[in-house]
Structure 1
Amino acid sequence: MVLAIAVGAGAGLGSIAFRWLITTFTHLFSGHADYAGAGGSANPHVPWLGAAFVIITPIVGGLLYGPLVDRFAKEARGHGVPEVMLAVAQRGGRINPQVSVVKALASALCIGSGGSVGREGPIVQIGSALGSTLGRLAKVPEGRMRLLVACGAAGGIAATFNAPLAGVFFSMELILGTFSAEAFGATVLASVTASVIGRAAFGNTAFLTLPPFHVEHLAQYGLFAALGVVAGVVGVGFTRILYWIEDACDWAWRGPEWLRPAAGGLLLGLVLLVLPEMYGVGYPVLEKATKGGYVVAFLLLLLVGKIVATSLTIGIGGSGGVFAPSLFIGAMLGAAYGTTAGHLIPGVAGGAGAYALVGMGAVFAGASRAPITAVVILFELTGQYSIILPLMLAIVLATATSRLLSRDTIYTLKLRRRGIDLHAPAPHAALGTQTVQTVMEAVPAPLSAKADLGTAADLLTRSDHGVLPVVDDHGRFAGTLSARAVAEVLAGAPDARLSQVGELAQPASALTADMSLAVALHALVAAPGTGLPVLDPVKEHLVGWLTHQSALRALHAAVPTPAASAA
């Protein structure tokens, strides 16, 4: 508890310093508090350049943060969250302590000089590095180290966006990838502490000023559902274009990495000259769109422009997050969708602002596949309960659409492209190359689906397994029957001994012989009883049985003993 509070306090103070750095560098490079809303005006520091100064600022910024990242912390390049996820999943929560300082400076320079990225990725990495450093100093176990990293992420999100609940669910849904009472309690402590510090500095107001939300007609729910599907497609499209442009930049650049942001900054500057609304995070533009300040054609141009500008910023080696850009893209999509619907069915569609708000959450969910975080953060931004139903509907459909179209999210795809699977063991782990077939045991005597429960009870009593497989008349796998299920039925109705086994058979996780043992362990750990059936490739017939003991024997055999290592 004490460590979680300390990490939350550090993340809160770090977010204050980070936002101050962004504001300072934005003033220094553009002469405005937020140039995205300045409408392409000149920089008062160099008025003779007019609006063309935006061609130079990304180059100068790249010359500053490029060498900084290349020399001191290469993991500070990009949007940051995947590196934290990797550290938690496979590195015991260990993060280079200097990442927090380098990431803060690099991201602030990148955003301040025109980089079209968000500030959530940097603050997550900053807070997580603080948590990892504190855990290392306190010499906590590896499990607690991971939890402190998640606390840092939660505190950073909470303080930066004044969204304490979103910080908690972001860290559990994306960083930890699991929910538990201990994780919830620790991240809540960190999030609340960081929020109190953030509110003391920034006030108790949301970081965006959004319009009131109204559902004026029940038919709107159909429109929100369709928007969710479209937003899921757009979220996946944003992910694909982001990495396609990054690949193109990798292919085109042949010089030193420290110079890459400056060289690519010329291309980014040209984009900013055409669309100055892409400068920095772009919250003023987002707010104006939710209030109906743009026509449909310009909204679509801003949508495409943000995808290109963000992808280019990341591709040239910039440092910043993709959370805020996904909200921006969603707002443009939703506003354009709502305006069009209003023209087509004016008596039903309602205001475009409602669709812009729902689109923000839906596109983020489509890109990140973090539906709980998407719902919570939009609710915290608006403070309106009336947004919940349409928001949940659109976000669930966006998430489902994204899952159908893509295996990975905007965060995990970056790691998979480097050959890293977060759900697989770390490289060179003992279970990394083994399959289920190499460790499975012989199939226990199966039960016929037509056998009575009395017979099943006798066989389960004599079996070493608490669960036995069930097969039909053709020998095809029909499910499993546990001793507990039989005992509960017989205790409630002793005359049920003549009931057939098939009536109680339950479907089991479909393990196959060629499946990786590391993947199968996830199903084995969650399964009742002492094992799981292993099926053939077509998942019809039993070929083996995987138990906890067989998996443990495989692990024990793969790990060299101290004597063998010494020899």
Structure 2
Amino acid sequence: MVLAVTVGAGAGLGSIAFRWLIVTFTHLFSGHGDYAGAGGSANPHVPWLGPFFVLLAPVVGGLLYGPLVDRFAKEARGHGVPEVMLAVAQRGGRINPQVSIVKALASALCIGSGGSVGREGPIVQIGSALGSTLGRVVKVSADRMRLLVACGAAGGIAATFNAPLAGVFFSMELILGAFSVEAFGATVLSSVTASVIGRAAFGDTAFLTLPPFHVEHLGQYGLFVVLGVLAGAVGVGFTRILYWIEDACDWAWRGPEWLRPAAGGLLLGLVLLVLPEMYGVGYPVLEEAAHGGYVAGFLLLLLVGKILATSLTIGIGGSGGVFAPSLFIGAMLGAAYGATTHHLMPGTAGAVGAYALVGMGAVFAGASRAPITAVVILFELTGQYSIILPLMLAIVLATLTSRLLSHDTIYTLKLRRRGIDLNAPAPGAKLGTQIVGSVMEGAPAPLPAATELSEAGDLVRLSDHGALPVVDAEGRYLGTLTARAVAEALAERPDVDTTPPAVAGDLAETTPPVTADMPLSTALHVLVAAPGTGLPVLDPDKDHLLGWLTHQSALRVLHTPATT
């Protein structure tokens, strides 16, 4: 509890410093508090350049943060969240302590000089680095270290966006990848502490100021369904284009890495000259779109421009997050969709802003595949509860669409492209690299599906595993009969004479299939959550029983090398 509160306090203070750096550098490079809403006006520091100063701002910024990142913390490049996920999954929560300082300076310079990225990735990495550093100082275990890293991420999100609940769910859904009472309690303490500090500095108001929206017609739910599917596809498209442009930048650049942001800044400057609304995070433009201030054609242009500007910023070696750009893209998509449907169905469509708000959450969910975080964070960022039902509907559909179109998210794809699978064991790990077929035991004698309940109960009781596989008359695997299922079935038969007898096939439970050719690292995730003390191992077609996987058989490979 003390450590969680301490990390939250550090993340809160870090978020204040980080936001101050962004505002300071934005004023320095553009002469405005937020140049995205300045309409392409001149920089008062160099008025003789007119709007053309945006050609130079990214170059100068790149010359400052490029050498900083290359020399002191290369992991500060990019959007940051994947590096934190990797540290938690495979490195025991260990993060370079220099990252917090380098990431804050590099991201603030990048955003202030026109980089079209967000600040959630940097603050997550900054808060997580603080948590990891504290964990090293007090010498906590690996599990506690991971939890402190998640606490830092939660505190950073909570303080930066005045969204304490979103910080908790972001860290649990994306950083830890699991929910537990202990993790929830610790991240809540950190998030609340950071939020109190953040509200003392920034005030207790919603991050985005939007008018109240309502669902005015039942027919709108059908329109929100279509928007959810479209947003899921756009989220996947944003992910693909982001990494395609990064690949193109990697292929084209042959110079030193420290110079890459400055050289690429010339291309980014051209984009900003054509569309100054792409400068920095772009929240003023997002709010204007949600208020219905742009026509559909210009909204689509802004959508394409944001995808290009963000992808280019990351591709040239910039430092910043992709959460805010995904909200921006979603707002443009939703507002354009709402404006079009309002034109076609003026009596049904309702306010354009409602579609912009729903689009924000749905595109983020499509890109990150974190639906709980998407719902909570949109509610806290905007204070809009009146359209929570269509928001939830669209976000779930966007998540399902994303899952159908892509195996990876915008965060995990960065790691997979480097050959890293978060579900696989860490490089050099003694356990997890084997194939299930090389470590499984012989399977216990299966139960025929027609075995009566009383006989099946006796056989399960005598089993060493507390469960037995069930097969049909042709020997095909149907599921697993557990002692718990037998006990519950017997308890639910008050009148044995009148209740039809149950058979093993009726009570067989299915679990996620484990096959003999599956990596042990993948099977272990299923084994941990399985009832009983083991799992059936099936053939690749998942029809016939081949063996049995237990915790003991998995651990046995630590002493007896397995053949793969």
1:73: which partner in 2?
A: 73
2:509 matched to which residue of 1? 506
Q: Give the root-mean-square deviation of aligned CA atoms.
A: 1.2
1:539 aligns with 2:542: yes
In the alignment, which residue of structure 2 is the partner of 1:236?
Answer: 236
Question: Contact 2:62 / 2:261 at 8 angstroms: preserved in 1?
Answer: yes
**Distance of 1:417 and 1:211 partners within structure 2:** 41
Aligned equivalents of 2:490, 2:340: Cα separation in 1: 62
The answer to whether the aligner puts 1:406 opposite 2:406 as a matched pair is yes
Q: Which residue pairs with 2:271 in the alignment?
A: 271
Q: How do 1:245-260 residues align onto structure 2 when only pairs under 5 Å count? A: 245-260=245-260
Residue 215 of structure 1 is matched in structure 2 by 215
TM-score (norm 2): 0.98
Distance 1:139 1:544 in 2: 42
Aligned equivalents of 2:375 and 2:467: distance in 1?
A: 39
In the alignment, the residues of structure 2 paired with residue 458 and residue 292 of structure 1 have an alpha-carbon distance, to the nearest angstrom, of: 69
Output one character per residue of 1:145-187: Cα deviation in whole Å (capped at 9) or x when no partner.
Answer: 1111111111110110011110110010101111111111111
Pairing 1:138–2:138 present: yes
- Structure 1 residue 502 displacement after superposition: 1.2
Q: Which residue of 1 aligns with 2:533?
A: 530
Written as runs of structure 1 = structure 2, the 5 A alignment for 1:43-62 is 43-62=43-62
How far has the Cα of 1:74 moved from its partner? 0.2
Maintained 8 Å contact 2:431/2:555: no
Can you list the C-alpha shifts for 1:106-147, whole angstroms capped at 9, x where unaligned? 000000000000000000000110111111111111111111
Alignment of 1:98-247 (within 5 A): 98-247=98-247
Matches within 5 A, 1:333-482: 333-482=333-482
SS in 2 for 1:385: coil
Distance in 1, matches of 2:36 and 2:512, equals 51
Shift of 1:465: 2.1
Amino acid at match of 1:454: S
Task: Tell me, yes or no, if structure 1 residue 296 matches structure 2 residue 299.
Answer: no
Cα-to-partner distance string for 1:48-104 (whole Å, 9 max, x where unaligned):
111011000000000000000000000000000000010111111111001000000
Determine if contact 1:431/1:558 at 8 Å carries over to the other structure.
no
Report if the CA contact (8 A) 2:9-2:190 is conserved: yes
Q: Work out the CA distance in 1 between the residues paired with 2:501 and 2:339.
A: 65
1:284 counterpart letter in structure 2:
P
SS in 2 for 1:372: helix
Letter in 1 for 2:143: G
The one-letter amino acid paired with 1:110 is C
Equivalent AA in structure 1 for residue 389 of structure 2: L
Q: Secondary structure at the match of 1:376?
A: helix
- CA positional deviation for 1:451: 1.6
Aligned length: 559
Q: Which whole-Å deviations, capped at 9, do the CAs of 1:352-376 have from their partners, x for residues lacking one?
A: 0000000000000000001111100
- Tell me which amino acid in the other structure corresponds to 1:168: V
Q: 1:380: Cα distance to partner?
A: 1.0
Report the Cα distance in structure 2 between the residues aligned to 1:452 and 1:116, rounded to whole angstroms.
66
Residue 530 of structure 1, CA deviation: 1.4
C-alpha separation between the residues in 2 aligned to 1:472 and 1:547?
24
Long gaps (5+) in structure 2: none
> Is the contact made by 1:436 and 1:517 (CA closer than 8 Å) also made in structure 2?
yes
Q: For residues 46 and 118 of structure 1, what CA distance do their matches in structure 2 show? A: 26
Structure 1's unaligned 5+ residue stretches are 560-567
Counterpart Cα distance in 2 of 1:331 and 1:511: 42
In structure 2, which of residues 517, 520, 523 is the aligned counterpart of residue 520 of structure 1? Answer: 523
Q: Is the 8 A contact 1:212 1:382 kept in 2?
A: no
Give the counterpart letter for 2:542 in structure 1.
Answer: K
Give the secondary-structure state (helix, strand or coil) at the position aligned to 1:349. Answer: coil
Please say if residues 239 and 409 of structure 1, whose CA atoms lie closer than 8 Å, have aligned partners that are also in contact: yes
Identify the residue that residue 560 of structure 2 maps to in structure 1: 557
CA distance in 2, matches of 1:38, 1:558: 65
Quick check: 1:509–1:532 contact (8 Å CA) kept in 2? no
Structure 1 residue 197 displacement after superposition: 0.6
Distance 2:148 2:477 in 1: 44
Deviations 1:306-361 (A, max 9, x none): 00000000000000000000000000000000000000000000010000000000
d(CA) in 1 for partners of 2:283, 2:55 = 21
- Alignment identity in percent? 84
Amino acid at match of 1:476: R
1:94 aligned counterpart, secondary structure: coil
Write the letter of the residue equivalent to 2:214: H
Q: SS at the partner of 2:218?
A: coil
Segments of 4+ moved more than 4 angstroms: 494-498
For residue 478 of structure 1, report the CA deviation from its aligned partner.
Answer: 1.1
- Secondary structure of 1:347 counterpart: coil
Match of 1:564 in 2: none
Q: Distance in 2 between matches of 1:418 and 1:456?
A: 49
